[in-house]
Every structure is written in structure tokens, then in C-alpha cells.
Structure 1
Amino acid sequence: MSRRQSSRPSSAASYSSRSSTLDGELRLECKAAFLCLFDDLSEEITSKEDLISALQQTGRNPTNRSLTKYWTRDTRSLTFDDFVHICKKEPVTTADDLMKAFRKVDLNGDGYISLDELYKLMTTRGERMSKSDVQDIIEEVDENRDGRLDYREFCNMMISTAEDCKKLSLKVMEKKERRKQRRGNADDNRSVTSRRDQGPHDYPKPSPRGKRDLKPAVSSRSSKLSEPRNLREWTHIRSNGCFFLDQEEGIVSHKYQLYLPTASNVWITIHPIKIIESAPVPEFPIDTALFILKNKKLVTFTEQRDSKGKYGVRGDLEAGKYTIIPFSTGCRLKVSNHRNKQEAKLVKTDRDDKVVITKVFRKAIEELFQLSDLDGNGLLSRQEFNMFNLRSSGEEVADDEWNVVEENVELEDGEITKKGFIRLNEMEAEDNGGDAEDLWVTLTSHGFNKNLELDQACPYKIDVYTEECDDVEFKVTGIEPLSDSLNDYVCESVMAKGESSNSRDKRDILLHTYIGETRATVVAENKSRSPVKVNVDCSGSRNCSSNIDTLEPTVTVPANSTAIALHLMPEDERSDWCVKCE
């Protein structure tokens, strides 16, 4: 007798399906939280503080006792899989958990929590908080200003804050993945094909495999930049770099690492330079600045400037590693209209029907070589060629690719000569059969227009002087959009050094305005629990130009967060300028 098979899944199969779904959701949640703190899942958590931050991004706030189980005295680092395992064990803080904890703290059972009661709770669960921090929390949610909280409302606020953190983490992760996909997705099929069918020249192409469309107060900071008198006796190290304009990512720049083996007095400057003949000379210098970070925290930034456009900062720095990120507002470095530009010819065929590059393209390649020679020694190291390739294609130079370069082009002391760099581009043109499309993508990604003028980039020079420290290390570590690495620190600097005022029509919005000698920045701070659109009116300003071609921007500020509204600079530095925003 045959048995009819049920179309319904068994309870075990149903449980397995639900379990698999929950595990997938948890892993996605953990991935989003992890990528809020790190650039890649291959990185590791190297401190207890970073572990706490990552857990809080998932809505978890473990006790100190719980943390000691995950981060012991012997723990040096945790991988992403370790983090997922911890999240499986550590439950998300729920409203019921908070309610139970608050009832224990509410000693008289009156349904309210006083400052002293809340302080006791906040110093026994999760990260320790100061009494002033707890006072700030009470003031933020204490609507009737009686100095105590209805704990049920406070629980709801805590839970909604955790959900906001998770939503923000997902947005950050999606943004990073879209950028990676944009850089690498279109490259996959073609890169495989190009390696298989490269033809006569087997070398890493400098051009990208995937295409990219690049197309009221008056400043009182009048102190001018002046260098130390005995600067010639200090240890000096330098590097060039460049701001590049990208229509999708905004301003892109090199970033650096400074290592001081001992504490020292330092003098660090940045200024725009002209290393390429085709680069136009602006009437007023393009603004540059430096933000100096340690352990992902802002240490200082350049404020003073001399008449030639050099910004600098002097101070005492402790021993250790520092991240140095160049910055420009974009008020003077803007996308140009190329529609009226005549397109230069890059390649042609000679009498023997062989593809050769033109004289104007050869000159542009030489200028591109100068732009990529960050240490100015007339050669391209592997690191410098890697930075060039990252900007061209979004890809790093693999070991096998560099080996091919070493075997096929002229080198000097293990570095690419100008002649070798030109030869790489000649071979590129030959292998493409005279098709100049890839060559143009390389040029435009580095700031050249169709007439081979460098008007979409700004080269700069960074000088580091140390008074007491001799064995200084200063090196380029990457190239990335400024919005990814700097927005939060710019907001922090403005809030620390600027003046604050209430928004004219938004109760929970503060406007912070920093006015330096030659630049100003307005930051909107949202203290509410919901995203808010803020209208900023700077139309009353005088002799000002902005980075976004308007003095009346509208900016969306996430809940309990900040956002840059706009940057301002004087249109004419020879005249007084006035910043007035509300």
C-alpha cells in the first residue's frame, strides 16, 4: 500500500529553515555593524573599546562581566567570525530588560528615575559614564524639566536609538558595497579576458578595465602662518599628493601615515603646487588643509595660512602612529564644463600601419608620471605605481603584475623610470589596436580634460618637520574620497571651534559655524530622534562663494547626528568677506 507524501515540511525542516533565516539575518546585522568601524571583513577588532562599539551598533550593551568572557587578558584580536559568534551568545537589550533594571534602580517605586538613580545604573552596565553625561541624557528627554525621568518613555527611547544604530549600519554597509561593486563589477569579465588574450604584451594595464564617467560674523582669525625660526635644524620629510575630482565620489585624495618613535614638537604644512605645465594658474590658491588623527580620534587640524596658500600647524605630538588626511572644501576646485573643449588625438598609425602615440599624448604621459611621483625622485616605486593604478582602475597591483612590469620595462633601483612608464602606455595603445577609450579613462580619472589640460585636479606638497625626533616615517597609505574619511572629523572640528546658534524654524536643530581666515564651514546638528531636513540660509553673506553653488542649501540630517551644510570662501581675497547664516 503506497503512502501519500505530505507536501508540508516536517517540523524539523521548518525549524531548520527558520534557524537558517535567523542566522542569515544575524550575520547581515553583524556585517553591517562591523563595516561601520572597519573597511573590510578581513580586518580584526584589536581593542576592547572597538568590540564595545561594534556590539552597540547591533543594539547590544553587554555588562562588564559579560565582556570579560569575550575579551580576556590573553585576547589580542577578534575576527569577524568571532564577532558573529559573540553576537549569537549576547542577547539584544530589550525593553523588558531595561524595565527590570530600571525598577531595581527606582528605589521608592514612584515610576520615576532621578539623576542619582540613573547615574548608578549607567555606571554598572556597559561603558561607564560620567555624571555630566548622565545629566545630559536627562536634559535631552526630560520634557517637563523636573529633573527626573518617566522610565517607560526612557526605555522606548533607548530601544529606538538601538534600532537607529542598526539602520545606520546597514546604510553604511550598502554604501561601501556599492562603491566596491562600482569599481570592480564591470572589471571581472574583462580582466579575465584581458589576462587570457593580452596579445604580444603581457603586462598590467595602467588604464582601468571598467569605465568611469568623469565629467553673521566677520572672520577674526587674522594671525598669519609663520614658521619656527630654527626650522633648518629640524628633521624634515615630505611627500607630494593630489586632490582629484570625481563626479560620483566628490573630491578624492591620497592619505598618509606619520610614525613618531618618540614624542616631539612638530611643524606640518600643506600647500598646492604646480608641477605640470598644462595646469591653469588660479587667481587665488585652491584651499588645502590637514586633519591629524590618532586611534581614529581627531588630534588637531590646520587653521593658519600664509599669503601663498600654505596651511600649517605646530604643536607637541606624543609618540605613535598618526593618520594624516588632506582636505579641500571644493569651493575653488570644481568640475569644469568640457563641452567646448576640442578632444586631443592620443594615437595614430605610422607609415608601416603601426599604432603609435602622438606627441601631445606623450607629453601628457610625462606629466602624469610627474603627478604620480610622490617622493619627487624621478622614479615610480611599486607603492607609487599602486596609487596610480588605484586611481585609474580601483585595483591594486598584484605581485604577478609587478613581476611582469619588472621584466618588460626600464627600471632603476627597482623603480619605474619615466621611459618605462611611457613604454607601458605605448604597449597599452598597441594592444588596444588604436582604441583610445581606456587611455582617456586613465587621463580623466587623474584630472585631465579632453584638451589634455590638468583642470580637474590639484597637486599639493606636505612637509613634516620634527624638532626632537630623528627616525620619522611618513608614507602614503591609500587614496579615497574625502567624504568617506573626513566628514565626521570636519563636523567635530567645527563644533569644537565654531559658534553655535538655534535654527530659525527647527526646535531640535543647532547650527555650528566655524570661520577661519580664508574658509568657513556650517554644520547642522540634529538632536531629535528623527531625520530632519534643514534649510540653511547664508544669502546674507558678503563676498562669498560656496562648494555647492548656492548659499541656501537644504541638508538632511540623520537622527542624533550632524551633517555639513556647506563650505564658504571669499570670492575675492583682496576684499573683506562676511559670513551670515541662519
Structure 2
Amino acid sequence: MAGNEESNASPFSEQTASSENSHSKKSQNYEEEMFYKNCRAAYLAVFKSSLENIKSKEQLCLVLQQAGRNPSQKTVDKYWTPQTFTLNFDDFCSILKQEEPTKSTELLKAFANADTNNDDCLLHSELSRILTTRGEKMTLDEVNAILELAEVNSDGKFDYYKFCELYMTVNEQCLKTALEKLEADSKLKCQQFGSQLESSSEMTRSPVSKPLPKATRKTESGSMFKKGVRCSSVPGYKTCASTTIHMGASYNKNSRLIEANTTKEWHFVYSKGCFFLQDNGEIISHKYKLSLPQTSTVCITIKPIKLDQMEEKCSPWLAVDSALYIFKDNETEDYLQLVSFTELHNNEVFGWKGELGAGGYWLIPFTTGCRFKKVKKEMRGEAKLIHRDGSRKLVLTEEFRAVLSEIFEMIDLDGNGFISLEEYNFFEMRTSGEKCDKNTWAMCKEVFSPDVSPTSMACPFSIHIYAEKCKPQIKPVCLETGGEQLKNAICVSVVNKGDAKPINHNENIIIHTYKSDTRITAVIENKSENKALIHLNSEQSKNCINNRGLNTFAVEVVPKSMMVCQHIMPLNDKEEWIYSCIYSVLT
């Protein structure tokens, strides 16, 4: 009987769990849909199209206010740095995810902590002191703007209860008005989908493309591209094409990479480095110069590495994809010639093997960004840094020692157990933004206590180089984004190795799709004399993540150019994944 009861209960529990999972998924999808709807509503309350860029601090502040935020000058400066020229709709969505709306309870609690009289009011002098010296400090102009609000100020006192009510009402009304405008305009509601708009200076100019195949061909190992679908009857579109690729599980799936570490006679050098995720979403990394004294067969590999000294501590960056693009040095970085990139792999190790002539080369690391996202860390209280050992001496705690060791390992790029001034300056430029001089360096060697840990949004990696006939040399040169050279190299490699499919009838807008075991990259090429607006819809994809974080968005491709529109990877690489995307030309 017990056995029968158990067997009868099992299907019911499975159905209940399945129902709960389905409900949870629908709820999550609904929340995500509403979030992006609110993003679009706020954006379109300021701009005519979500394909327009934010071009100033003032515009950024205004569009954030339309989304129900009330950013301080410090918050705006956080996202609009001296290096920022424009922000697009995707950037705006990313900012809203980080800057969540302030809750009234949080505001009340913050003011109540300073209210020593418990009368729901603060003196103007006290309010000014608090707002300009604590937390995210406000400017005097911002404080004066609050003190000028007649509704919440009287007799030199600030009524923070009334202010909180007014604050929440204004924020909610801004977002409500933006949503009403979006709902009232059917054209905006249907056709504006988001953007990853790049300025023309960031676009890569098209190289000579390989001829289009007369018929779409099948790809390797069960993957297949569907024929293009015409959608000229749908309002808002000229034509469209679809691409579907079925991928098997990529976990532990290797692709013929033969590493040279089994050949002891080969000369070997290596260096470490990091990918760093910036506040604005850009990824920077170390760049390297490689020197070969003579022509030789070489094997170059890159892989993420574990630096944690504590065995129980997980390393989420081990799942971050990595690649290395190899360029021939032509005396000037503006005209580097792409040699190849690390396409083959053994598990997480990606590599390239071939012959390189004597001379200098640039090695530029790359990650798609699909699995390299900013994660909010929960505060778990204060962490002890020191304690007394058995002999009552003050020593570092195990946790603090592990963190310091991890930072040391990350800075020690050549892995020799010592940190040079040059290596330390890479760390300083990443944390404080200033280089360390020789006098300060002498002090740093005695006391090492950085204010900012570079591991919060960092993915460390190692580069191994084997050469058969000579001793190679590798040197980290700078810490910056891949720049135009890397963007162009990615586009060229996709055009050369991927499948091509035209969207429109005259074949001047082409989708190039490159597929490896672990990722898919799509490039849009615009051969026409006019800019092209392309909408992408990947909602039918299964078990996929992309570098944009959006399933539907639009891009603008300037004339005679091409750009990477997205990178796609499996969400769970132990299961099969299906990439399905419809590309539509917007009118």
C-alpha cells in the first residue's frame, strides 16, 4: 500500500512542481516585459525614436527622471564619464537595472535616523549638513532646490514626511505620463523596439565580401540555416529573413586543439591578465606585444584561471568565454593585419597553432560578454581582517589573507612571485586611475592596502605561448578596450568563416553568421548608400544568452559598413541550445 501511495503521489507532485515552475517563469517574463516597456516609455518621452542616442548629461538626467528616478549629480557622473560621448537605449536599460527606484520606506528611514527630536522635521542647517557630507553627497545647488519647495518647508524646518510623499508622487507621475504617451501612439508602441546604436566612427568598414552562395548550405554536425522568410506584407517592414541553428551540448566538447605542452623541447613563455567590466558596460583587458626572433611554428592558448586561495569559494568567471586575436605589427597600431584567432579548444582552453614569421605581433584578448555581467553582492556585515593567534599575536584572518593573495596573483602578470612597478601600475590605473612613482612604490612594497578590489567585476585569464624554433617574448603593454582593431577583426573573421544570407532582394544588406561549438556571432553588412535599420527578434531561441541582454532590439548600420549585432552562447552548456532569430528591415 505504501508503495502504491508513493507512486500515485509522485505524478501529482511532479505536476505541481511543473505548474509552479511554469507560473514562476510566466511571472518572471511578465516582469521583464513590463520593465522594458517602462524603459521604452521613458525613452520615447524624451526622444522621437529609441534608435536615437543620449548625447549629454542633461538628456541622461531627463530620461532617468521620466523613468521615475531622481538621480543626483554624482549618479549622472557615474554613467557619464569624461570618456562618454553617447549612450544608447541598451545603455539606458542597463542603468535602470542598476539604479532601482527609491522606496518611500528607505527615504523615511534615512531621514528618521537624523531626526533627534522625533517631530518628523529637520532644521535647514542640519538637512544641508547631512545631504552634503553623508552618503551620495549632494551639491549645494541640489540642496537649495529642495529647500525652495514651499510644500515641504516652513519656518526654517524641512518636513521629510511630506517630502517623501511628494517625491514618490512626482516619480510615479513621470513614469505614468510616459506610459500613457506610449499607449496613445500606436506607431511608437508597435515599431520602436530598442537599440544598440553605434556612432559611425565606431563602425567597421566592409572588406571585400566573399560571394553569396546560390543556395543556403547546411552546416556541420546537425546545424542548419533556414531559408529567408519575406515579410513585405507586415506594416513597418520592407523584408525579413530568419536564421535557426540547432546546437548540441557543448560541455566538454573539444575541437581538435593540439596543445604543445606535451612537447618539452619547445620554448615556452606565459603571462596573465584580466577582463574588467566597466560601469558603462564596456570590457577592458590587458593587451600584449609578442616578439619572435625567427620564423617558427607556435601554439598560443588562452583560458580563464582560478585565483581563489579558498577551496570552498567558487569562481564564477571560470565560465566566462575567452579568445585571443593575433595581429601582425605594422609599426603603427592603426594598420594592424589580422593573422588569426583562437578558434579550437579543449574544454575552457582556446588556442591556435600555426607558423608565424619573425617580428612583432599584437595579442588582443576578447570575451563576448554573454557570461560576464555585473552582479549585485549582498552585504553580510563586517568582515574581520585580523585576529590574535595562540601566542596572542595579531595576524591576518584566513579570509583576508586569501583575498590579498588573490589580488597579488592577479597583479603578478608574469607569475614570478614578485610584483614589479610596471605590474603594480596596471593595478593602480584600474583602481585609483593614477600611476605610482618610484618613491611611492618604495612605500607600497612595505604596505599593500588597495581601496578597491579589482576582483569584483574581473575575469582573470592566462596566455601560454609555445614556439618550436626560438624563445618568444610576451609583454603586457596597456589596459584598455579592444577598440576598432578588435571590432574589425571580429567582423572580418565572421565574414570569412560564417554563412551569408541576404535580407533584401538586391542583396545589399547581408547577415553573416559564424558558428563554433561554444558561441554564435552575427554580423550585419550594409553595402548600400543609405543607412539600414534592422530589427532582431530572438524570442524563439531556447537555452540561449546573448551579450545584449535583450531578445528584441534594433540596430542602425551606416552605409558601406558592417557591425556585430550580437554574440550568443548556451545558458546551460550541458544541454542542447537553439538559436532562432528573425531579421527585419524597418521602414
TM-score (norm 2): 0.51
Is 1:381 aligned to residue 420 of structure 2? yes
The alignment covers a number of residue pairs equal to 328
Alpha-carbon distance between aligned partners in 2 of 1:385 and 1:281, rounded to the nearest angstrom: 23
Alpha-carbon distance between aligned partners in 2 of 1:297 and 1:357, rounded to the nearest angstrom: 53
Q: 1:447, CA displacement in angstroms?
A: 3.0
- Give the letter aligned to residue 404 of structure 1: T
The answer to whether the 8 A contact 1:256-1:324 is kept is yes
- Which residue number corresponds to residue 380 of structure 2? 342
- Which residue number corresponds to residue 465 of structure 1? 466
- Give the letter aligned to residue 396 of structure 1: K
- Which residue number corresponds to residue 137 of structure 1? none
- Give the letter aligned to residue 543 of structure 1: N
- Which residue number corresponds to residue 440 of structure 2? 404
1:496-531 CA deviation, whole Å, 9 max, x = no partner?
Answer: 111111226996321111001101111111222333
Alpha-carbon distance between aligned partners in 2 of 1:246 and 1:357, rounded to the nearest angstrom: 34
Alpha-carbon distance between aligned partners in 2 of 1:484 and 1:345, rounded to the nearest angstrom: 43
Kindly report which structure 2 residues correspond to 1:3-18, keeping only aligned pairs within 5 A, or say none. none
The answer to whether the 8 A contact 2:528-2:560 is kept is yes
Q: 1:342, CA displacement in angstroms?
A: 3.4
1:140-170 CA deviation, whole Å, 9 max, x = no partner?
Answer: xxxxxxxxxxxxxxxxxxxxxxxxxxx9569
SS at match of 2:495: helix
- Which residue number corresponds to residue 364 of structure 2? 325
Q: 1:485, CA displacement in angstroms?
A: 4.8
1:121-155 CA deviation, whole Å, 9 max, x = no partner?
Answer: xxxxxxxxxxxxxxxxxxxxxxxxxxxxxxxxxxx
Alpha-carbon distance between aligned partners in 2 of 1:283 and 1:390, rounded to the nearest angstrom: 22
Q: 1:575, CA displacement in angstroms?
A: 2.2
Alpha-carbon distance between aligned partners in 2 of 1:234 and 1:261, rounded to the nearest angstrom: 14
Q: 1:303, CA displacement in angstroms?
A: 0.9
- Which residue number corresponds to residue 271 of structure 1? 303
The answer to whether the 8 A contact 2:544-2:570 is kept is yes
- Give the letter aligned to residue 287 of structure 1: D
SS at match of 1:258: strand
1:318-349 CA deviation, whole Å, 9 max, x = no partner?
Answer: 111100011111111111123x3336458899
Among 443, 447, 453, the alignment partner of 2:455 is: 447
Q: 1:357, CA displacement in angstroms?
A: 11
The answer to whether the 8 A contact 1:522-1:565 is kept is yes
Alpha-carbon distance between aligned partners in 2 of 1:575 and 1:347, rounded to the nearest angstrom: 42
- Which residue number corresponds to residue 283 of structure 2? 251
Distance change (3 Å), C-alpha of 1:503 and 1:341: farther
Alpha-carbon distance between aligned partners in 2 of 1:231 and 1:562, rounded to the nearest angstrom: 41
Alpha-carbon distance between aligned partners in 2 of 1:390 and 1:343, rounded to the nearest angstrom: 29
Q: 1:374, CA displacement in angstroms?
A: 0.8
Alpha-carbon distance between aligned partners in 2 of 1:275 and 1:283, rounded to the nearest angstrom: 10
- Give the letter aligned to residue 432 of structure 2: S
Alpha-carbon distance between aligned partners in 2 of 1:396 and 1:336, rounded to the nearest angstrom: 28
The answer to whether the 8 A contact 1:284-1:573 is kept is no
Distance change (3 Å), C-alpha of 1:222 and 1:230: closer
The answer to whether the 8 A contact 1:292-1:325 is kept is yes
Alpha-carbon distance between aligned partners in 2 of 1:552 and 1:225, rounded to the nearest angstrom: 35
SS at match of 1:578: strand
Distance change (3 Å), C-alpha of 1:224 and 1:543: farther
Among 323, 345, 348, the alignment partner of 1:305 is: 345
Distance change (3 Å), C-alpha of 1:343 and 1:457: farther
Alpha-carbon distance between aligned partners in 1 of 2:543 and 2:413, rounded to the nearest angstrom: 36
1:102-137 CA deviation, whole Å, 9 max, x = no partner?
Answer: xxxxxxxxxxxxxxxxxxxxxxxxxxxxxxxxxxxx
Is 1:217 aligned to residue 245 of structure 2? yes
Q: 1:580, CA displacement in angstroms?
A: 3.2
Q: 1:486, CA displacement in angstroms?
A: 1.7
- Which residue number corresponds to residue 171 of structure 2? none
The answer to whether the 8 A contact 1:246-1:252 is kept is yes
Q: 1:224, CA displacement in angstroms?
A: 3.4
Distance change (3 Å), C-alpha of 1:538 and 1:388: same
Kindly report which structure 2 residues correspond to 1:498-517, keeping only aligned pairs within 5 A, or say none. 498-503=498-503, 508-517=508-517
Is 1:290 aligned to residue 319 of structure 2? no
Alpha-carbon distance between aligned partners in 1 of 2:520 and 2:514, rounded to the nearest angstrom: 5
SS at match of 1:386: helix
SS at match of 1:384: helix
Alpha-carbon distance between aligned partners in 1 of 2:202 and 2:285, rounded to the nearest angstrom: 26
Q: 1:549, CA displacement in angstroms?
A: 1.7
SS at match of 1:489: helix
Q: 1:536, CA displacement in angstroms?
A: 2.1
SS at match of 1:388: helix
The answer to whether the 8 A contact 1:345-1:358 is kept is no
Alpha-carbon distance between aligned partners in 2 of 1:345 and 1:504, rounded to the nearest angstrom: 60
Alpha-carbon distance between aligned partners in 2 of 1:396 and 1:283, rounded to the nearest angstrom: 27
Alpha-carbon distance between aligned partners in 1 of 2:574 and 2:379, rounded to the nearest angstrom: 31
Q: 1:232, CA displacement in angstroms?
A: 1.6
Kindly report which structure 2 residues correspond to 1:60-459, keeping only aligned pairs within 5 A, or say none. 168=200, 216-218=244-246, 223-228=255-260, 231-277=263-309, 280-282=314-316, 285-294=319-328, 295=330, 296-307=336-347, 309-338=348-377, 340-342=378-380, 344=382, 359=397, 363-397=402-436, 401-406=437-442, 408-410=443-445, 420=446, 423-425=447-449, 439=451, 442-443=452-453, 446-448=454-456, 456-459=457-460
Distance change (3 Å), C-alpha of 1:343 and 1:504: farther
Kindly report which structure 2 residues correspond to 1:17-28, keeping only aligned pairs within 5 A, or say none. none
Q: 1:313, CA displacement in angstroms?
A: 0.5
Distance change (3 Å), C-alpha of 1:538 and 1:389: same
Residue range with higher mean Cα deviation, 274-283 or 566-575? 274-283
Distance change (3 Å), C-alpha of 1:254 and 1:329: same
The answer to whether the 8 A contact 1:267-1:464 is kept is yes
Alpha-carbon distance between aligned partners in 1 of 2:526 and 2:203, rounded to the nearest angstrom: 18
Distance change (3 Å), C-alpha of 1:507 and 1:171: closer
SS at match of 1:528: coil
Alpha-carbon distance between aligned partners in 2 of 1:483 and 1:554, rounded to the nearest angstrom: 22
- Which residue number corresponds to residue 116 of structure 1? none
The answer to whether the 8 A contact 1:264-1:469 is kept is yes
Distance change (3 Å), C-alpha of 1:394 and 1:388: same
- Which residue number corresponds to residue 493 of structure 1? 493
Distance change (3 Å), C-alpha of 1:403 and 1:222: closer
The runs of 5 or more residues in structure 1 that have no matched partner are: 1-38, 40-166, 173-215, 351-355, 411-419, 429-438, 449-455
Residue range with higher mean Cα deviation, 483-492 or 507-516? 483-492
| Percent sequence identity over aligned pairs | 34
1:372-427 CA deviation, whole Å, 9 max, x = no partner?
Answer: 11111221112101111121133334xxx223323x354xxxxxxxxx3xx142xx
TM-score (norm 1): 0.51
The answer to whether the 8 A contact 2:511-2:523 is kept is yes
The answer to whether the 8 A contact 2:309-2:402 is kept is no
CA RMSD of aligned residues (A): 3.3
- Which residue number corresponds to residue 538 of structure 1? 538
Q: 1:291, CA displacement in angstroms?
A: 0.3
SS at match of 1:342: coil
1:522-543 CA deviation, whole Å, 9 max, x = no partner?
Answer: 1111222333321123334332
Q: 1:567, CA displacement in angstroms?
A: 0.6
- Give the letter aligned to residue 422 of structure 2: Q
- Give the letter aligned to residue 257 of structure 1: K
1:240-284 CA deviation, whole Å, 9 max, x = no partner?
Answer: 111111121521111111001111100000111101236633497
